[in-house]
Amino acid sequence: MELPPVTAPDLDAHRAAVARHAELAVPDGALGRLAELGVWLAAAQGTCPPRPPARPRVVVVAGDHGVAAAGVSADPPGATARQVAAVREHTAPVGVLAPVAGVSVRVVDLALDTPPEGTERHRVRRGTGRIDREDALTADEVERAVAVGRALADEEVDAGADLLLPASLGVGATTPAATLVATLTGAEPVAVIGRGSGIDDAGWMRKAVAVRDALRRARPHARDPLALLRIAGGADIAALAGFCLQAALRRTPVLLDGLVVGAAALLADELAAGAREWWLCAQRSPDPAMALVEEHLRLSPVLDLGIRLGDGTGAVAAVPLLQMAARLLAETGTAVPTATTSATTAETATAETAEPGPA
């Protein structure tokens, strides 16, 4: 896959934001992570002070996974369609919180194992292969899914989105995600298995076995991101990888949230080196594999809310902090007089000390 190089965020805007924070009428370092967020946003926008994100957009990518048949989820295979319906009806957590943060939500079907509703121009296939026994996708399907993800990012940026929040819905999706993270980081299966949808101990054991078997098939291809997506990924994960890398190529900031998106981001950074500079980790996931993602991408989560959902709820919760950080940098008073203020003060002082003229 031929990709143009990723352009780094604007270093001059970064330096200007750091310098402006030093001038604010607050103790040095008193704004903590809020200052860091403002600097990151300034560099991503290429301007200081940065603008509060005005059109943040959640894009939820949905797909079913064959490995759900192995009993790796607390939800039954096929429940993804109900989850998608809840998001569209604004009764899922991300749909409830999004309006509060001024975020709009879009849901895209990449691989639901249900009859298509009307014309599904983004669907790559119905479901994916059971990765502990067979490949998830064909090579052609991987390329199509990545291309769909890139096209989705282009559509959103072209429509005016200034902050992108990729998200995921899919029963069993954390199993391929954990497999991909283990493959790329060299971790053992037990180090990447979380409770996901709320599985019990027996479910955890089934998930560990599925990841172990999938990992045996995936590890020989650890240096080939597209092969990994074919063997142990899914159409939704491939599309999310394409979405994240295209956002970086379009110089648009991204909030990452959840293990499935994290695994896709790992692959995206392998495909387009430097893409990680355009991403921020919204919140610390309780899933152990996500900690490996954060370490590998050198991203420090903004929030620690214990949210285990992957539908974008945690990312939506972080959006107001970015808006606050931008306003702090733009509107907080400064302790250092501006050039205009200094000149006016000097003129006043000169007038007050001058000898009075003749009456």
Q: Are residues 36 and 90 in the same domain?
A: no
* pLDDT at 22 (0 to 100): 93
Which segments within 176-312 are labelled E, that is strand? 254-256, 279-281
pLDDT score, position 83: 94
pLDDT computed for residue 197 by the predictor? 76
- What torsion do the CA atoms of 110, 113, 115, 117 make, to the nearest 10 degrees? -30
Q: Judge if 160 and 22 occupy the same domain.
A: no
> Which pLDDT score is estimated for 337?
56
How far is residue 25 CA from its own chain's centroid? 33
Residue 164, in any domain of the structure = yes
pLDDT the model gives residue 118: 58
Give the C-alpha separation, 269 to 340, whole Å: 45
Phi, psi of 104 (to 5 degrees): -100, 155
Query: What pLDDT sits at residue 27?
Result: 92
Domain assignment present for residue 334? The answer is yes
164: β partners: 57, 254
User: What's the CA gap between 271 and 251, in Å, rounded?
Assistant: 16
| Residues 147, 267 share a domain | yes
- Are 271 and 144 members of one domain? yes
DSSP 303: B
Question: Looking at the structure, do residues 226 and 78 belong to the same domain, yes or no?
Answer: yes
If asked whether residues 158 and 295 sit together in one domain, one would say yes
CA 18 to chain centre: 24
Whether 204 is covered by a domain: the verdict is yes
Q: Is residue 302 part of a domain?
A: yes
- How many domains does the chain divide into? 2
Query: Is residue 2, in this structure, part of any structural domain at all?
Result: no
Asked whether residue 351 is domain-assigned, the answer is: no
Q: Give this prediction's pTM.
A: 0.91
| Sequence-separated (6 or more) residues with CB below 8 Å from residue 202 | none
Q: Whole-angstrom Cα distance, residue 135 to residue 125? A: 14
Residues in the chain: 359
Residues 74 and 183 in one domain: yes
Same domain, 192 and 266: yes
Q: CB-side exposure of 63: number of CA atoms within 13 Å?
A: 33
pLDDT at 349: 43
Burial class (CB in 10 A: 0-12, 13-18, 19+), 140: exposed
Locate 356 and state its tokens. 């009075």
- Across the chain, which has 359 residues, the per-10-residue mean pLDDT values are 92 97 92 96 97 98 95 90 94 96 96 76 93 97 98 98 97 96 95 87 94 96 97 97 98 97 98 97 94 96 93 96 96 71 44 43
- Say if 162 falls within a structural domain: yes
Identify whether residues 25 and 164 lie together within a single domain. no
Structure confidence at residue 120 (pLDDT)? 65
For the chain, the straight-line distance linking the first and the last C-alpha, in angstroms and rounded, comes to 85
Q: From residue 223, give the alpha-carbon distance in Å to each of 136, 184, 227, 292.
A: 18, 8, 9, 17
203/60 same-domain check:
yes
Peptide bond into 49 cis (omega under 30): yes
Q: Is residue 100 part of a domain?
A: yes
Question: What pLDDT is recorded for position 143?
Answer: 97
The CATH number that applies at residue 106 is: 3.40.50.10210
What distance in Å separates the CA atoms of residue 116 and residue 78, rounded to the nearest whole number? 13
The answer to whether 130 and 231 are in contact (CB under 8 A) is: no
Q: Which domain holds residue 298?
A: 56-319
Grouping H, G, I as helix, E, B as strand and the rest as coil, residue 179 is helix
Give per-residue burial for 2-11: e unless 16+ CB within 10 Å, then b: eeeebeebbe
Q: What is the pLDDT of residue 346?
A: 43
Residues 40 and 75 occupy one common structural domain: no
Q: Are residues 208 and 169 in the same domain?
A: yes
Chain mean position to CA 188: 25
Q: Give the model's pLDDT for residue 198.
A: 86
- Give the separation between CA 316 and CA 322, rounded to whole angstroms: 11
